[in-house]
């Protein structure tokens, strides 16, 4: 049997990783970037919801839907010179209607621009 000596070639030497100044700057910037972005987003969104002690009460006039009425007929009656589609869109939005179907006896709030 033959013995072979490995010497220094077979041993793994440890290489120590060294960061240069540029590498440290890059790592610092990468670590700070999420904090800076978070602060920026917070600053842009942070000031919009301030509550005041005043309460504003809006008063509306109402129209009662008659038998045979549709939103189109109500809109035409409220604002004869306006486009009925615009009036209907305003009525649906203000009253929180899920569809354009109305029932007799239903109370609809009238938007201020169509109130006479």
Q: What is the pTM of this model?
A: 0.50
Domain-by-domain residue ranges, the chain? 62-114
- List, run by run, the mean pLDDT of 10-residue segments along the chain (116 residues): 62 80 93 92 75 70 91 92 92 89 91 78
Encoding tokens for residue 114?
Answer: 């169509």
Q: State whether residue 84 is helix, strand or coil.
A: helix
So what's the pLDDT on residue 111? Answer: 85
Distance CA 102, CA 29 (A): 60
Is domain 62-114 annotated with CATH 3.90.25? Answer: no
Taking the CA atoms of residue 75, residue 87, residue 61 and residue 65 in that order, the dihedral angle to the nearest 10 degrees is 30
């Amino acid at each position: 049997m033959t013995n072979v000596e490995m010497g220094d070639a077979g041993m793994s030497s440890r290489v120590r990783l060294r960061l240069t100044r540029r590498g440290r700057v890059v790592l610092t910037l990468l670590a700070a970037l999420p904090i800076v972005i978070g602060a920026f987003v917070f600053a842009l969104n942070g000031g919009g919801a301030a509550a005041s002690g005043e309460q504003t009460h809006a008063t509306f006039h109402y129209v009662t839907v008659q038998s045979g009425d549709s939103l189109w007929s109500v809109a035409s009656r409220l604002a004869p010179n306006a486009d009925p589609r615009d009036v209907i869109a305003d009525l649906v939005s203000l009253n929180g209607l899920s569809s354009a179907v109305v029932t007799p006896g239903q109370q609809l709030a009238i938007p201020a621009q169509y109130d006479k």
